[in-house]
A and B are shown apart, each in its own frame.
Chain A
């Protein structure tokens, strides 16, 4: 696949998904704390979102950043517009603006502060304690 094809696919994905997150890893297994935090905020607002892992091919990130003029990952888009990276999403989450922008009600049980994305919570495996 050429770089142009990759860029076209990214542009198409941004256009076709109301909320789309480009991240390192997957929502189930985020590979970076900033991606994990952003996923955590979307999940605590119960927002359905598409997620694209940028790690499998370095050209995904290269073409995404060229398209969005935004150097870092994660990147959250809504209705084709870049909302921002983890810092902006965090600020908007805490002010309630994120829910408003995404057109959802903040669930009553959503934490007021952005979930910190403690890596321990997202660890896919637990280590068996053989010392007891």
Chain B
């Protein structure tokens, strides 16, 4: 099971300049707040896609839910 740090590190590694705060009560449901300059000029849907694409195949599986809040910096 991924830890909050695993999820944070993967987001920050995949999106240049991203800062992520990740919380999980159970290592299955995650909640992440992500700030990144890469989000600049993107719609919320596009910002969320950038993050969710990192976990393709895991969402709904080992990551049951990923609650997201994104913000361009």
Q: A residues within 8 Å of B by Cβ?
A: 34, 69-72, 82-88, 91-92
Contacts and interface: CB of A to CB of B under 8 A. Distances in A.
A4 B63 CA distance: 29
B48 A84 contact: yes
Contacts of A71: 52, 56, 59-60
B48 A34 contact: no
Interface residues of B, number: 13
A87 B69 contact: yes
14 contacts: A70-B45, A70-B49, A70-B52, A71-B52, A71-B60, A72-B52, A72-B59, A72-B66, A83-B45, A84-B48, A86-B67, A87-B67, A88-B44, A92-B44
Contacts, number: 31
Interface of B: 44-45, 48-49, 52, 56, 59-60, 65-69
A105 to B, nearest CB: 22
A69 B56 CA distance: 11
Nearest to A68: B45
Given A71-B60, A72-B60, A91-B69, A85 B48 contact: yes
Contact of A91 (B44, B52, B60, B66): B44
Contacts of B52: 70-72
A51 to B, nearest CB: 20
Nearest to B56: A71
A87 to B, nearest CB: 5
Given A85-B48, A86-B67, A88-B48, 9 more contacts: A34-B65, A70-B49, A71-B52, A71-B60, A72-B65, A72-B66, A83-B45, A84-B44, A91-B44
